[in-house]
């Protein structure tokens, strides 16, 4: 079962009328719990072969030999793909044709640039044979010393951070602001390298049909993947059909097609049969992106009354030796707090790692942890409650740009979150609260922020003679619920109930939905769907209002509204007729229209657009063992219009959990000598489980934004992680009186210090 083929699945509790705003359950839920959802690796076309990567065990150097003969002699092995026989590409995979064309490793040479880099692909009749064949390759290397850790190389100023953000932004005179301050904080925070670790590993089933290519592979951006594959393979992107109905998570790592996926395509070309390539968990620690470690120095100045005089946020981050993605860690300071002087600057080092990539609020997650920690330290220096300090420095306009916010209900987030959490009972000094077991209890707050972005999307809407509708868009449901929420927008756009609508998604032969990233998918694809629906309705209205036989004759386009499968007069909703009647009389089988979702340049120029939130955390710390348990987290978020409160809340809770793990759990540890990740598995790379977050609440604060897009949607995918990590870190300080500035916070940080 896949969304593009399935009839509309109707949750039992669909109410008639507006679908937007209903807390529907996910339409994919039943498919997933009953095993009907077909993920990429679940596809088994006839004649399928299995491919397994052989990966480098060194981080820098050269492969000097591979025992290809031994692997090929293994029963079941069909072929071994190495740089010697890999099918040619039309474009150098190291060519940078656009900022989203990341350099990839597809056996273009014997060079090794990071541990776990693919160095060969073994293709066999079974997964077992391919795995055994790969183990027989016995690679030899010429090893060069690996550059590991943020101090491994000389730093330089990157030309840009993120995708085209300026690496240095200066507003006002930071040094003067610091000099004039009564209270100063100068603190350096370190965050660890992190890996996306989506539940579903990157997987691809590739089938060539002449010069056409059919791919089952998880994607957060099918059109970008088609374009990238097309240029690499030298074929037209429309010859590439990507099917991506379900993703088992992505977190940014499936935003771009990566090296192992391309190797699956090339393996299928080499052997002339369909090939499946699924990454093993440990192979995901290298070729498919990660979050750079960071070292961030925050210098804050505050006047005697607690008003900030300066924010200086400097971040050192890493990229690979061969590509240029730099997490914009300092950019969070552009937005959050009013200050007459703000500087954000980045420096970078090159390490022998795979190239970092967008991961779970790239920039804001990492930067807000440092900023929110420093803000807490500044509040303490000023003798102020941390929430009062944040309210005192509330940004009424975006500080660095001076633009008004398109909407900003952060004050309400602070108020509602604090009320729910019980913040007013918080003692100002640390180490004042204990629970019944004698554990130290601490409360911390963090501010959440994430930009309200939009990319570009197109959708197609059809109303057919029986009065039902179809909406098509190649959107991406990576588990966040896009398939459900976008269908809700589609139903409203066509004035139909959900059970009258067929919603097709998850395939590249549908209109391009843009990338499911940057928390922008609902805003972008949703706007396209809304506009396509409106355009289809306008065509129906044109038919009716110009036909003397219609009760709507002469009402004019603007005088008609669509509701429950009917057009009715705006001034008299008893007068109208059904879509089926309008089409029947016109003798038409259907009307169809397309719509786009693109940012409004005027609104973009005039307003700063961000979602906001406030997160409150309680931790309990064993005073003897230093063990930290998060006991409660309450977040309150304002993100414009909420399409589906159940799914939005799920997104926010998920983000908050990642915030907890940012502060306390996640850390990829690179071996200093070899550059290999020592904990490249889910046993030793810690992600939070239920027991790590006993009580979690996400409140949604009402916010109407007339500027962001037609529906007022801001996005909820990533904001939950921002602010949450800082809230946890600040709670640890409040519990213990120990300020830990290296993340994740470890037991020994507290035991040694207290």
- Where do contacts with ligand MOS occur on this chain (CB under 6 A)? 220, 250-252, 255, 358-360, 362, 517-518
Our CB check for ligand MOS shows the closer of 99 and 427 to be 99
> From the CB of 465, what's the least distance to ligand MOS, in Å?
40
Is the torsion defined by CA of 650, 651, 656, 660 positive or negative? Answer: positive
User: Whose CA is closest to 337, among 288, 372, 384?
Assistant: 372
Our CB check for ligand MOS shows the closer of 389 and 685 to be 685
Beta bridge partners of 595: 459
Nearest residue to ligand MOS by CB is 252
> From the CB of 216, what's the least distance to ligand MOS, in Å?
20
Query: How far is 219 from 507, CA to CA, in rounded Å?
Result: 10
Measure Cα distances from 434 to 189, 317, 444, 690, 749 in Å: 28, 38, 15, 24, 20
> From the CB of 255, what's the least distance to ligand MOS, in Å?
5
Residue spans of alpha helices (H) in 393-462:
410-421
Query: How far is 80 from 78, CA to CA, in rounded Å?
Result: 7
For 329, which DSSP code? G
Beta bridge partners of 345: 168, 314
Measure Cα distances from 735 to 417, 444, 532, 727 in Å: 20, 9, 53, 12
Query: How far is 248 from 200, CA to CA, in rounded Å?
Result: 4
User: Which token pair is 153?
Assistant: 């190389």
Cα-based angle 353, 267, 92 (whole degrees, multiple of 5): 55
Our CB check for ligand MOS shows the closer of 362 and 442 to be 362
Our CB check for ligand MOS shows the closer of 359 and 523 to be 359
> From the CB of 365, what's the least distance to ligand MOS, in Å?
9
> From the CB of 360, what's the least distance to ligand MOS, in Å?
5
Query: How many Cβ atoms sit within 10 Å of the Cβ of residue 143?
Result: 16
User: Whose CA is closest to 158, among 383, 323, 360?
Assistant: 323
Chain position carrying tokens 């920039």: 363
* Cβ atoms 680, 669 nearer than 8 A: no
Pairing verdict, β 77-81 and 160-161: unpaired
Residues 6+ apart with CB under 8 A from 705: 406, 407, 452, 609, 640, 641, 712, 714
User: Whose CA is closest to 259, among 328, 330, 204?
Assistant: 204
Our CB check for ligand MOS shows the closer of 255 and 726 to be 255
DSSP for 631-697, please give it. Answer: EEEEEEEE-B--S-HHHHHHHHHHHHHHHHHHHHT----B-TTT--BTT-STTTS----GGG-S-EE
The CB-side HSE value for 310 (13 A sphere, CA atoms) comes to: 24
Our CB check for ligand MOS shows the closer of 359 and 657 to be 359
Our CB check for ligand MOS shows the closer of 177 and 362 to be 362
> From the CB of 478, what's the least distance to ligand MOS, in Å?
8
> From the CB of 265, what's the least distance to ligand MOS, in Å?
22
> Residue 231 catalytic?
no
> From the CB of 361, what's the least distance to ligand MOS, in Å?
7
Our CB check for ligand MOS shows the closer of 290 and 676 to be 290
| 3 state DSSP class of 749 | helix
> From the CB of 126, what's the least distance to ligand MOS, in Å?
34
Chain position carrying tokens 């004019």: 556
Q: Of the listed 231, 377, 667, 718, which one is catalytic?
A: 718
Our CB check for ligand MOS shows the closer of 55 and 256 to be 256
Residues identified as active-site? 718
């Amino acid at each position: 079962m896949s969304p593009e083929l399935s009839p509309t699945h109707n949750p039992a509790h669909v109410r008639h009328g507006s679908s937007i705003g209903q807390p529907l359950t996910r339409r994919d839920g039943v498919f997933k719990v009953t095993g009907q959802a077909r993920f990429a690796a679940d596809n088994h076309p006839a004649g399928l072969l299995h491919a397994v990567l052989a990966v480098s065990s060194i981080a820098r150097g050269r492969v000097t030999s591979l025992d290809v003969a031994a692997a090929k002699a293994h029963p079941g092995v069909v072929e071994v793909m190495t740089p010697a026989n890999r099918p040619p590409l039309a474009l150098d995979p190291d060519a940078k044709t656009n900022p989203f064309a990341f350099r990839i490793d597809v056996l273009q040479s014997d060079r090794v640039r990071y541990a776990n880099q693919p160095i060969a692909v073994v293709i066999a009749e079974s997964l077992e044979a391919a795995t055994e064949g790969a183990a027989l390759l016995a690679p030899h290397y010429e090893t060069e010393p690996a550059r590991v850790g943020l101090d491994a190389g000389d730093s330089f100023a990157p030309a840009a951070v993120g995708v085209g953000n300026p690496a240095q932004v200066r507003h006002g005179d930071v040094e003067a602001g610091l000099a004039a301050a009564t209270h100063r904080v100068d603190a350096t925070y370190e965050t660890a390298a992190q890996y996306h670790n989506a539940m579903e590993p990157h997987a691809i089933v590739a089938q060539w049909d002449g010069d056409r290519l059919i791919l089952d592979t998880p994607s957060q951006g099918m059109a970008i993947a088609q374009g990238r594959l097309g240029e690499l393979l030298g074929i037209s992107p429309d010859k590439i059909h990507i099917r991506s109905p379900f993703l088992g998570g992505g977190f940014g790592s499936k935003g771009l097609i990566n090296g192992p996926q391309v190797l699956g395509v090339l393996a299928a070309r080499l052997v002339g049969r369909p090939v499946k390539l699924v990454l093993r968990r440990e192979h995901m620690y290298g070729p498919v992106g990660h979050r750079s470690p960071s070292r961030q120095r925050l210098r804050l100045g505050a006047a005697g009354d607690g008003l900030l005089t300066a924010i200086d946020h400097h971040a050192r981050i890493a990229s690979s030796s061969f590509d240029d993605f730099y997490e914009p860690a300092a950019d969070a300071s552009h937005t959050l707090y009013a200050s007459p002087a703000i500087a954000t600057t980045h420096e970078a080092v090159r390490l022998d790692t795979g190239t970092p990539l967008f991961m779970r609020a790239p920039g804001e997650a990492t930067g807000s942890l440092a900023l929110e920690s420093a803000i807490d330290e500044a509040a303490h220096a000023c003798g102020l409650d941390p929430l009062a300090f944040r309210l005192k420095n509330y940004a009424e306009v975006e500080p660095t740009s001076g633009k008004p916010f398109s909407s900003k209900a952060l004050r309400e987030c602070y108020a509602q979150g604090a009320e729910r959490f019980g913040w007013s009972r918080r003692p100002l000094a640390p180490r004042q609260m204990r629970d019944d077991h004698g554990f130290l209890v601490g409360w911390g707050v963090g501010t959440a922020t994430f930009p309200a972005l939009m990319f570009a999307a197109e959708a197609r809407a059809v109303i057919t003679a029986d009065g039902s509708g179809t909406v098509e868009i190649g959107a991406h449901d990576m588990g966040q619920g896009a398939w459900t929420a976008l269908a809700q927008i589609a139903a409203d756009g066509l004035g139909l109930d959900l059970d009258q609508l067929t919603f097709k998604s998850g395939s590249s032969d549908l209109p391009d939905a843009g990338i499911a990233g940057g928390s922008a998918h609902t805003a972008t694809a949703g706007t396209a769907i809304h506009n396509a629906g409106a355009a289809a309705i306008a065509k129906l209205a044109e038919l009716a209002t110009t036909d003397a036989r219609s009760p709507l004759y002469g009402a004019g386009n603007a005088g008609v509204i669509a509701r429950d499968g009917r057009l009715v007069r705006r001034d008299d909703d008893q007068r109208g007729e059904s879509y089926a009647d309008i089409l029947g009389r016109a003798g038409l089988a259907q009307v169809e229209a397309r719509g786009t979702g693109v940012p409004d340049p005027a609104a973009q120029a005039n307003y700063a657009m961000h979602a906001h939130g406030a997160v409150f955390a309680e931790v309990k710390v064993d005073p003897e063992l230093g063990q930290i348990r998060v006991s409660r987290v309450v977040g309150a978020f304002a993100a414009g219009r909420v399409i589906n409160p159940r799914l939005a809340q799920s997104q926010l809770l998920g983000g908050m959990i990642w915030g907890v793990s940012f502060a306390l759990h996640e850390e990829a540890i690179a071996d200093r000598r070899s550059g290999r990740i020592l904990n490249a598995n889910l046993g030793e790379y810690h992600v939070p489980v239920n027991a790590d977050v006993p009580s979690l609440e996400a409140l949604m604060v009402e916010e109407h934004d007339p500027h962001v897009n037609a529906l007022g949607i801001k996005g909820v995918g990533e904001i939950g992680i921002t602010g949450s990590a800082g809230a946890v870190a600040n709670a640890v300080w409040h519990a213990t009186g120990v300020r830990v500035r290296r993340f994740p916070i470890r037991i020994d940080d507290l035991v040694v210090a207290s």
